[in-house]
Amino acid sequence: MKYDIIVLGSGPGGYVTAIRASQLGFKVAIVEKESLGGICLNWGCIPTKALLKSAQVFDYLKHAADYGLTVNEFDKDFGAVVARSRNVAGDMSKGVQFLMKKNKIEVIMGTGKLKPGKKIDVTDKDGAVTELSADHIIIATGARSRELPNLPQDGKKVIGYRQAMVLPEQPKSMIVVGSGAIGVEFAHFYNAMGTKVTIVEFMPNVVPVEDEDISKQFERSIKKAGITVMTNASVEKVDTSGEGVKATVKTANGEEILEADILLSAVGIKSNIENIGLEEVGIATDRDKVLVNAFYQTNIPGYYAIGDIVPGQALAHVASAEGITCVEKIAGLHVDPIDYGNIPGCTYATPEIASVGLTEKAAREKGYELKIGKFPFTASGKAKAAGTPDGFVKVIFDAKYGEWLGCHMIGAGVTDMIAEAVVARKLETTGHEIIKTVHPHPTMSEAVMEAAAAAYGEVIHI
């Protein structure tokens, strides 16, 4: 069974790669061991957003009086919330199946293992092995929840993100270890549903990759929502011998024991590079990542790698972009390497966080003289009308040339606003050009223009 391109893994890196390859005229097969769409569609990006939407609606009901509405009785059905999330994921996976048929991509279900000579052995659920070969093999096997030695996951009391999406019943209390996007999104969901949540973060700030102003505002917001936050803290050990879980937490003031029904470990991800044949083929790896060049070629001709298994941001949209770049280069098109300095990051808790480019601290460390503008949503007519005035937009410009170095947002709907900054930075737009670009009123997005105006002393509404 010979193909032009075989893609190993059907997540947002793999299936997008396969579709673009088919569009370019290649004969394509995709190998998947579990569900089309990979972790993102089935156990990550999509079902978590469905859970978060249920939490948002529940929160609206709790605050109906703030909008002049009377809701006498309401409650939640935790099982139904989880079921809706799974249905959304299932529908999206079916959508990928349709796209595979539409683009004449052969889907081969089974566990793939790379072999020398640009071949893959695929073992199906019955143990039967099929050998495939191709001119080009693209590895897109993604990642899974990272397990720390002192936080072994038993799937019941100490869980990862997959179990957190399908708990059979809502816990009364939960400890979340790690305050990256996965940690704070689940912390928000369970807190909104009524679970008592404590976040334990090793770093001085929650969401530690974000601009410090964003981190501080986010911590204030989630504390106001009822989430307990412990920073500069680490879980040293867990005891699951009792009814729930006891976590020994090391803090600046000594050790503290936290008790909860469940502990969610959200301490990062682990690349899926084991047992897929990398060693047999001779593909080079370093620190849990496959080494590739700017167009995702490995050190072995004919083998490529994209997504969470290569260096760079482990994000769905990054994996998709890498796959498209990879196959377009294979097809001989003129393509530019991806600019990893212009990748947007989004966190879908409440409030949402979105950012791109340099933080203020990173920009100063690089020696830039800065012009910084902030516009609070408390001054936004749209935000006030919507009842979501928490948060702000922060923009960072190079004072000398007006280059837009970074944009950082926190507030309702900001994950849908960040693309303006990404496109503007791609086009090398200056601060003055943003100020002179007419933004619609009343919208949340006009806060971007107002923040830019604030950086240059021209802001109108604060």
292: containing domain: 2-145+270-340
20 confidence band (pLDDT: 50, 70, 90): very high
**Angle at the Cα of 86 (from 85 to 89), degrees rounded to 5?**
90
Judge if 385 and 431 occupy the same domain: yes
Q: Classify the C-alpha dihedral 200-202-205-211 as positive or negative.
A: negative
Q: How many domains does the chain have?
A: 3
In a domain, 246, yes or no: yes
Q: Please, are residues 54 and 81 in contact by the beta-carbon 8 Å criterion?
A: yes
In a domain, 150, yes or no: no
44 confidence band (pLDDT: 50, 70, 90): confident
What pLDDT is recorded for position 440? Answer: 97
Judge if 9 and 94 occupy the same domain: yes
Judge if 335 and 357 occupy the same domain: no
Report the percent of the chain where pLDDT is more than 90.
95
In a domain, 153, yes or no: no
Q: What are the residue numbers of the active site? A: 441
What pLDDT is recorded for position 418? Answer: 98
37 confidence band (pLDDT: 50, 70, 90): confident
Cis peptide, bond prior to residue 116, ω within 30 of zero = no
Judge if 381 and 319 occupy the same domain: no
216 confidence band (pLDDT: 50, 70, 90): very high
Q: What is the pTM of this model?
A: 0.95
- pLDDT tens profile 70-111: 999 999 999 999 999 999 999 999 999 999 999 999 999 999
**180 appears as a binding residue in the annotation:** yes
**329 appears as a binding residue in the annotation:** no
Q: Classify the C-alpha dihedral 164-170-175-181 as positive or negative.
A: positive
In a domain, 8, yes or no: yes
**181 appears as a binding residue in the annotation:** yes
Judge if 30 and 127 occupy the same domain: yes
* Domain's final residue, options 292, 314, 340: 340
**312 appears as a binding residue in the annotation:** no
What pLDDT is recorded for position 39? Answer: 81
Judge if 284 and 248 occupy the same domain: no
- pLDDT tens profile 242-283: 899 999 999 999 999 999 999 999 998 999 999 999 999 999
DSSP assignment, residue 297? B
Report the percent of the chain where pLDDT is more than 70.
100
DSSP assignment of 150-205, as one string? TB---SSSEE-HHHHTS-SS--SEEEEE--SHHHHHHHHHHHHHT-EEEEE-SSSS
Judge if 193 and 329 occupy the same domain: no
Please state whether beta strands 119-123 and 129-139 pair in parallel, antiparallel, or not at all (unpaired): antiparallel
In a domain, 162, yes or no: yes
Judge if 274 and 257 occupy the same domain: no
CA distance 317 to 449: 26
In a domain, 411, yes or no: yes
In a domain, 431, yes or no: yes
Q: Does residue 26 register a pLDDT over 90?
A: yes
Q: Does residue 188 register a pLDDT over 90?
A: yes
What pLDDT is recorded for position 237? Answer: 94
Q: In 235-261, which positions are buried (b, 16+ CB within 10 angstroms) versus exposed (e)?
A: beebebeeebbbbebbeeeeeeebebb
The residue whose two tokens read 């093999």 is: 137
218 confidence band (pLDDT: 50, 70, 90): very high
* Domain's final residue, options 242, 267, 292: 267
* Domain's final residue, options 248, 267, 286: 267
DSSP assignment, residue 338? P
What pLDDT is recorded for position 416? Answer: 97
- pLDDT tens profile 365-407: 999 999 999 999 999 999 999 999 999 999 999 999 999 999 9
- pLDDT tens profile 434-446: 999 999 999 999 9
Judge if 20 and 169 occupy the same domain: no
Residue ranges with strand state E in 186-334 = 196-200, 228-230, 234-239, 245-251, 254-260, 262-265, 269-271, 285-286, 289-290, 303-305
**179 appears as a binding residue in the annotation:** yes
Judge if 277 and 138 occupy the same domain: yes
**352 appears as a binding residue in the annotation:** no
In a domain, 461, yes or no: no
Judge if 115 and 232 occupy the same domain: no
Judge if 136 and 52 occupy the same domain: yes
CATH code of residue 254:
3.50.50.60
**201 appears as a binding residue in the annotation:** yes
| Mean pLDDT in residue range 309-313 | 96
CATH code of residue 366:
3.30.390.30
Measured between alpha carbons, how far is residue 163 from residues 33, 52, 84, 256, 308 in Å?
19, 16, 16, 26, 21
